[in-house]
């Protein structure tokens, strides 16, 4: 079990981390985006994260802070950056909560020699593949999500366009549109993200950009 979360300031980021740490403290990962969006800081840490350390040396310059908490899985029992969220491929950075029931099928269809045992790892690869084919970021998002089967919530960041997205299919995800925050575990004044939707996060707020045809065996409210 994992948790994803995002906030615009350090204190809220810490609060949402503590909430989502109940989902697992095997590993922590983050993507911190500077206010001018010129750079992003990506980090992976085993165990309980120290959120007072050097990752916040430029905290006043961060536009948005994205986090992921991870429990050990049957696919990976030892910590490694390679098998920890967020996963990075080309210009896509992705963190995932859920289980992809068609991971084996996706590997066989798109990249038979894929050797990362964690199902989430294939998502940014699919995004990059479809973006190269269509030359359209929005199309690659929708096409990737419609290839996935199972339950999932995602935060997705494109390092070229600097666009940031969240998506939900069957797994829990809540947001506060006015405060520009989201979390796998509900906090005060948060509402469920509608299922089978993609939202974009900007400085102005969280905006619905698209629905998609999700393939989840059940819905969790």
Is 68 in contact with 85 (CB distance < 8 Å)?
A: yes
Mean pLDDT of the chain: 88
Give residue 74's pLDDT: 53
Tell whether the model's pLDDT for residue 218 goes beyond 80.
no
Q: Which helix (H) or strand (E) holds 175?
A: strand 174-176
What number is the average pLDDT over the span 186-209? Answer: 95
Q: Would you give the end-to-end CA distance of the chain in angstroms?
A: 16
Six-digit token string for 64:
């948005």
pLDDT digits (tens, 9 = 90+) for 119-153: 999 999 999 999 999 899 999 999 999 999 999 99
Longest dimension (CA), the chain: 45
Instruction: Please give the share of the chain, as a percent, with pLDDT higher than 70.
Output: 90
**pLDDT grade for 59, boundaries at 50, 70 and 90:** low
**pLDDT grade for 156, boundaries at 50, 70 and 90:** very high
The C-alpha atoms of residue 157 and residue 141 are separated, in whole angstroms, by 11
Domain range summary for the chain, segments of one domain joined by + = 2-211
Residues sharing a CB contact under 8 Å with residue 196, sequence separation 6 or more, in sequence order: 168, 169, 211, 212, 213, 214
Give residue 140's pLDDT: 95
- Domain 2-211 maps to which CATH number in 3.40.605.10, 3.60.20.10, 3.40.50.300, 3.40.50.2300? 3.60.20.10
- The alpha-helical segments, DSSP class H, found in 62-220 are 103-110, 122-134, 137-147
Give residue 63's pLDDT: 83
């Amino acid at each position: 079990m994992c948790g994803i979360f995002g906030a615009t300031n350090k204190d809220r980021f810490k609060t949402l981390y503590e909430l989502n740490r109940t989902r697992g403290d095997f590993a922590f990962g983050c993507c911190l985006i500077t206010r001018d969006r010129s750079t992003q800081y990506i980090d992976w840490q085993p165990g309980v994260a120290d959120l007072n350390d050097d990752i916040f040396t430029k905290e006043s310059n961060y536009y948005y802070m994205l986090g992921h908490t991870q429990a050990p899985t049957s696919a990976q029992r030892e910590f490694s950056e390679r098998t920890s969220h967020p996963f990075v491929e080309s210009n896509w950075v992705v963190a995932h909560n859920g289980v992809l029931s068609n991971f084996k099928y996706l590997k066989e269809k798109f990249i038979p020699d894929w050797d990362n045992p964690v199902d989430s790892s294939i998502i940014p690869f699919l995004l990059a593949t479809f973006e190269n084919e269509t030359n359209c970021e929005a199309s690659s998002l929708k096409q990737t999500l419609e290839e996935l089967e199972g339950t999932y919530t995602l935060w997705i960041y494109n390092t070229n366009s600097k666009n940031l997205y969240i998506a939900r299919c069957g797994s829990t995800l809540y947001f506060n549109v006015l405060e520009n925050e989201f979390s796998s575990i509900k906090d005060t004044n948060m509402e469920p993200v509608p299922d089978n939707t993609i939202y974009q996060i900007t400085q102005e707020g969280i905006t619905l950009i698209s629905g998609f045809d999700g393939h989840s065996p059940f819905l969790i409210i």
